[in-house]
Structure 1
C-alpha cells in the first residue's frame, strides 16, 4: 500500500475540524500561510517553523553536467534551490510513528543526558 500524500485540501479540512471555521476561511488561511512562506523564500530569507523545521534558499553556481547516456557535456545554469532541515521534534515524532521502540529509546536517552 502506497503512503498517502497530504494535499492542500487535507490541510483545509483539518483546520475546519479543529478550529471550527468555514471551509472558505480555512482555504484562505492555508493560502495566506503558504503564500507568506513562498514570498519569504523567493526573497532569499530563511523560514523557521518552530517544532517543524527550517527552509533555506541555497544558491548553486553554474557548472558542467554530463548526459549519462551519451557522455556529452551540458552547461547547467546557476539556480537557487530550497533545502529543508527537519527539527528534532519532527524527527522524534516521525520515528515514534514508524517505530515505537526507537522513540522510547530516544526518550530514555534524553532523560539520561539531562539528569546531572
Structure 2
C-alpha cells in the first residue's frame, strides 16, 4: 500500500495516463452513422495488420470506455502507451498498434441528427 508521497514502483513508468485526442476535423462533414461504419470497418480489419487479437480487443474496449475504465483496461492488458491520446501503443512483445482518431473521439464537423 502506498501513501500520497510514494513513487511508482520500478517499471511503472511505461503506464501513461491518457486523454481523449485533440479535436480533429474530417475531410468533409459526416454523420454519426458514417462515423460508426468507419469505426466498425477499422475494428474488423485491425487484427489483420499484425499484433495479437486480445490486444486489439482490449484497445477496442478501452476506446469505447470512459477514461478511468479505459486506463484500467489498458493497464491490465499490458499495453504500453506511447502517445497519451492512445493513438500509438505497443504490447509487451513490441508489436505496434496504431489507432486512428476517429475510433477514439468524434470529429468537430459531425452532422447531428
What TM bracket, shorter-length normalisation?
Answer: under 0.3
Superposition TM-score, scaled by structure 2 size: 0.25
Superposition TM-score, scaled by structure 1 size: 0.24
* Bigger strand share: 1
Bigger Rg, structure 1 or 2 = 1
Of the two structures, which has the highest relative contact order with CA contacts closer than 8 Å and spacing of 6 or more? 2
* Bigger helix share: 1
